[in-house]
Chain A
Amino acid sequence: MAQQRLSLWNAEEDIEGDVDLSIAMGTYDQTVQYEESVHMHQPQIDESTLIAMQQHIAQQAAFSQIPDVVKSFIVHFHQAVLENNLAEITVAYESGWNKYTEKFYAKTEWPEAELIAPLVNDDPIFLILYRELYYRHVYSRLQPNIDDRFHSYENSCELFNYLLNSDGPVELELPEQWLWDIIDEFIYQYQVFCTWRSKVTTKTPDELMMLADGGPVWSSYSVLNVLYSLMQKSKINEYMVAQREGKSAEEIAEIVGEYGQRPLYRMLGYFSIVGLLRVHVHLGDFTLGLKVMESVELNQKSPFTRVTACHVATYYYVGFCYIMLRRYPDAIRTFVTILNFIMRMRQYHTRSYQYDQISKTADRMYALFAMCHALSPSRLDDNIANIAKERYGEQYTKMARGGSDALAAFEELFVYACPKFIIANPPPYDDPGAINALISAAAEEDESAGSAAVDATQRHLELFLADVAAQLPVPTLRSFLKLYTSLDAKKLANFLDADEEELVQEMMVLKQASRSISRVPGTEGTSLLEGQTITTSDLNFVIDENMVHIAESTIGRRYAGWFIKNTERTQKILDDLKSMPLPAPSKAAALAVAGASAGDNAGQSRPARTGAKVAWGGGVKAA
C-alpha cells in the first residue's frame, strides 16, 4: 500500500512536468522511482515539509483528486480489457464500477476520460469504453447538460465506428451484459434526447444555437443505421434461421462469416434486433416492431436469454405491441411467460444491480396484464392474475365492470405502464422564425403544454381509449346473457333501458370483442405477426332475427392435480415413516401409551352409546 501511494505521488509530479508516467502504473519499478525522488528532495527539505508539499500539489492537480483505489481500479480494468479477460472485465464492470460509484461518485461525475488517459496509456479503445460508462453514469445519476448529450452521441458513434469500420472484426471481447447495456443505453439516450429536444420553451439561447447546428446528432436515421448495420454485419438473422434449421456448426460458421462467428458481434446483432423493436415502439410503429423480430424465437431456452434485462425488455415491448394490435390474448400470453420467469428468477437476482429496473418493468407488466385481462378475460394463469388483481385491485374492478368509471382506470394504468413515446423529428430549430413563433405560442398556452412528448403519449392513449370505450358495454351485456339460454332482444333492451336497434348493434360489438387474432400452437418459428382468429370468451351467442340464443362453455373443475400432488406427498410421508427406526420405548412410556389407547377406546365408545340413546329418544318424541 505504501509503495503504491508513493508511486502515485511520483506520477502526479511528473504529469505537471508533462511526462507520460502511465508506465509507472503498468510496470513495477516503483521502488526505483521512489528512491530517486527521495534522493532528489532529501537534501533540501525535512520530512514534514515534504508531506506538506505533497499535499499541496495533490490539491492543485485535478488528477490527484482521484482516489488511489479508483486509479488502481482503472488500471486493472484497462489491463483486463487489454487481455480480453472476460471474468476480470465482468468483475470490474458489474461490481467495481458500481462500488466506486457509490463510494466516490454518487453525486458527481467520474473523472474525465482525458484525466485518466495517462493511466491507460492513452488507449483510445479503452477511453471510448470508459466514456460510455462515464456518460451512462451522468444520465442515470446526474442531470446531463447539452454538452453531455452531444458528446455521448459522438462517443457512441466512435464506438460503433470502431466495431463496424475497422479492418475486419475487432479482437475486443466484452461481457454479454455490457454489450446489452451499450445498445440499451444508446437507445435510452436517443429517447431522452428526443423528449428533451421537443420541449422548446425551456431552452437557453446557447442551447437553441447548438440545436440549430446539431445536424444528425441523435437523429432517428443515425440510430436506425447503427442498429441495422450491427444486424447486417453479424448476419444475426441468417444465424438464427440456420440454427432453427438445425445446420451444423461448420455450416453456420460459413453462413455468418468472420463477423458473425465472434460472440461480440453475434450478441450485438441480437441486441440490435431487440433495440430496433424498442425504437419502433418509441416511435409508435407496432407492426414494424414485431416484424423486425421475425427470425427471433421467443422462448426460454435460447442462449440469448442469458442477459435477463434484455429478456425482460423483449417481452415487455412485444406484449405492448400486441396490445396496440388489439391482440389481447397474445399480450396476455407474453406477459404471463415473462412474469413467471421473473418470479422464478427473483431469488437469484435480488442482489443484481439491475434488479430494481427489472422489478419496475415487471410492475408495469402486471398493470398491462390487468388491462388485457379486463378486456379479454381468460384463465391462462390464475397465479399471475391474482398478483395483478392484488396490485391493481381498485383499477381492475373498475375496468372489469365496464361503464363510466372504467375509462379513468384504463387511462391511469396505461399512462403508468406504457413505454415512452417520442416524436421522430425536432422542432424547427434551424428556422429561427418558426421556432420563435412556436416558443411564444407555447408560452402563451401553458408552460407544461409545450411538451410534444406528452402529445405523443396522448395520441397513443387516445387511440387505445377509443378502442376501450367501444368495449365498455360488453361486461354488462355478458353478465345479463349469462342468466339466460334465450332472450328476446327487445326484452334485453328494456332491461338495459336501451334502444332496441342500438342494443343489437352492441351485440355485434360483443361478438367482435369475443374474437381475436392470436398465435396458435404449432406455429412457433413464424413471424410474431402471424395468427388466426380464435374465440376468447366462454360465452357464445347468436341472434336469430330478434331472439338471442346463448350457450356457455364451462370448464369442469380440475381435481387431478390436487389428487396427484397429495398422493405423491402421502407416498413420501409413508416412505419416511417406514424408513424411520422404531424407537425403543422405556417402560413408563410404554405404559403411558397403553393407558392412552385404553382411554381412547373408552372415550370413543361412550359418546357412541350416548349418541345412539339420544337418537332413539328423539325418535320416541317424534312418534
Chain B
Amino acid sequence: MTSEWLVPSTRSELIENLVSGVDRYNPSNVSILEDYLYHQIRSEEYDCLANLAILKLYQFNPDLYNPDVVINILIKALTASPMPDFNLCVSLLDERPINSQLDEPDPLPSILPILKGLHALLFRCRFPAFWEIYNSEALALLRDNYTVEVAGFENAVRAVAIRAVRATFTSISSKRLSSYLNLSGAELAAYFQKLGWTVDASTLAVTIPPNPDNQIEATVVQESVKLPQLVKIISHAVAKA
C-alpha cells in the first residue's frame, strides 16, 4: 500500500540512489532532484520522498533556496490528501531570515498561507469551498504563475474528492458530486465514463461500485479460546488423575 509512495515505479535508479543514500546531502545534486520535480510536474508523476530530499538540501544550504521549487513541491503534495505529505513538506521549511540574496521579493511568505488554507479545505473534504476559493480573483496569481504549469492539477484535486466519495457513499446525487468535482454537463458525464460509474437516468443518482470502504457489516467479534491457554489446566488435571 505504501510501497508506491516509498518507491514510485516511475522513479529512476539515479534518483533512487540519491533518495536512499548519503548522496542526498550533497548540495551539488540539487539540480538533478529539481529537474526530476519539473519532470513530475510535466508528466503527472509524483515522488514525495524525492521532493522532501530537495527541501532537506534547502534546509541545510539556505543559499540553494529557490522559492518556485518549494511552491511547486507544495502544490504537488497538496493533492496527496488525506495523506500527510503537505505537512511533511511544510515541516522542513525552516523559518528563514529576511533574505537579501534574492533578486526579486520571495513569493513564498505570501503564497504559503494560501496553500495551507487550500490544504485545510481538502483535508476537511470541503470540496465545493475549495473550488470557490481556488477560482477566486484573489488566487489568480497562484493559478496563473504556478498551478497552470502543473499538468493535471485540477484532476488531481478531483482524485482527492473521488477517494473520499468512494469510501463514504454507495450512491450520490449528480448535483452533489458535480459540486465536489467542479464539473458539469458533458464534462461530468465524460468523467463518470472514465471512472466507469453509472448514472441512473430517472433519479440522477450515481452508483459507486462496491469497495472495501463502502461496504458495512455489523459484526460481533467473539472470543475464541486457544488450546495453549488451557495447557496448564489440562496438564494439571491429567497429572492429578
* Chain B residues with CB below 8 A from A157, complex form: none
Contact: A556 with B91, CB < 8 Å?
no
Give per-residue flags for A212-252: 1 if the beta carbon is below 8 A from chain B beta carbons, else 0: 00000000110010001000100000000000000000000
* Chain B residues with CB below 8 A from A549, complex form: 216
Instruction: Determine which residue in A220, A425, A541, A557 has the highest number of CB atoms from chain B within 10 A of its CB, and name it.
Output: A425
Contact: A543 with B172, CB < 8 Å?
yes
Interface size on B, residues (CB 8 A): 66
Considering the complex, give the chain A residue whose CB is closest to the CB of B52: A287
* Chain A residues with CB below 8 A from B148, complex form: none
A434 to B215, CA, bound (A): 60
B46 at the interface (CB under 8 A from A): no
Which single member of A291, A428, A460, A556 contacts B97 (CB below 8 Å)? A428
A496 at the interface (CB under 8 A from B): no
* Chain A residues with CB below 8 A from B236, complex form: 568, 571
Contact: B127 with A325, CB < 8 Å?
no
A423 at the interface (CB under 8 A from B): yes
Considering the complex, give the chain B residue whose CB is closest to the CB of A530: B2
Which single member of B168, B170, B220 contacts A511 (CB below 8 Å)? B168
* Chain A residues with CB below 8 A from B199, complex form: none
* Chain B residues with CB below 8 A from A467, complex form: 84, 87, 123
Contact: B95 with A455, CB < 8 Å?
yes
Contact: B223 with A558, CB < 8 Å?
yes
Contact: B6 with A529, CB < 8 Å?
yes
Considering the complex, give the chain A residue whose CB is closest to the CB of B163: A512
B88 at the interface (CB under 8 A from A): yes
* Chain A residues with CB below 8 A from B172, complex form: 543, 545
Contact: A285 with B219, CB < 8 Å?
no
Contact: A509 with B124, CB < 8 Å?
yes
A531 to B20, CA, bound (A): 19
Contact: A427 with B124, CB < 8 Å?
no
Give per-residue flags for B4-25: 1 if the beta carbon is below 8 A from chain A beta carbons, else 0: 0010000000000000101001
B171 at the interface (CB under 8 A from A): yes
B159 at the interface (CB under 8 A from A): no
* Chain B residues with CB below 8 A from A291, complex form: 20, 49
B241 at the interface (CB under 8 A from A): no
> Which residues does A use to contact B, with CB under 8 Å?
220-221, 224, 228, 232, 283-288, 291, 324-326, 423-425, 427-428, 434, 437-438, 452, 455-456, 459-460, 463, 466-467, 470, 501-502, 504-509, 511-512, 515, 517, 527, 529-533, 540-546, 549-561, 564, 567-568, 571
A190 to B6, CA, bound (A): 30
Contact: A512 with B125, CB < 8 Å?
yes
* Chain B residues with CB below 8 A from A288, complex form: 52, 56
B205 at the interface (CB under 8 A from A): yes
Give per-residue flags for B117-134: 1 if the beta carbon is below 8 A from chain A beta carbons, else 0: 000100111111000000
Which single member of A286, A504, A564 contacts B229 (CB below 8 Å)? A564
* Chain A residues with CB below 8 A from B219, complex form: 551, 553-554
Q: A434-B97, A455-B95, A504-B176 are in contact. Are A556 and B167 (CB under 8 A)?
A: no
> B202 CB to closest chain A CB, in angstroms?
13
B94 at the interface (CB under 8 A from A): yes
A512 to B82, CA, bound (A): 8
A519 to B198, CA, bound (A): 35
A-B CB contact pairs (8 Å), 29 listed: A284-B91, A285-B56, A288-B56, A423-B95, A424-B59, A424-B60, A425-B60, A425-B62, A434-B97, A434-B98, A437-B98, A467-B84, A467-B87, A467-B123, A501-B176, A505-B127, A509-B125, A512-B125, A541-B216, A542-B168, A542-B169, A543-B169, A553-B217, A553-B218, A554-B218, A554-B219, A555-B221, A558-B223, A564-B229
A427 to B125, CA, bound (A): 39
A63 to B52, CA, bound (A): 54
* Chain A residues with CB below 8 A from B94, complex form: 423-425, 456
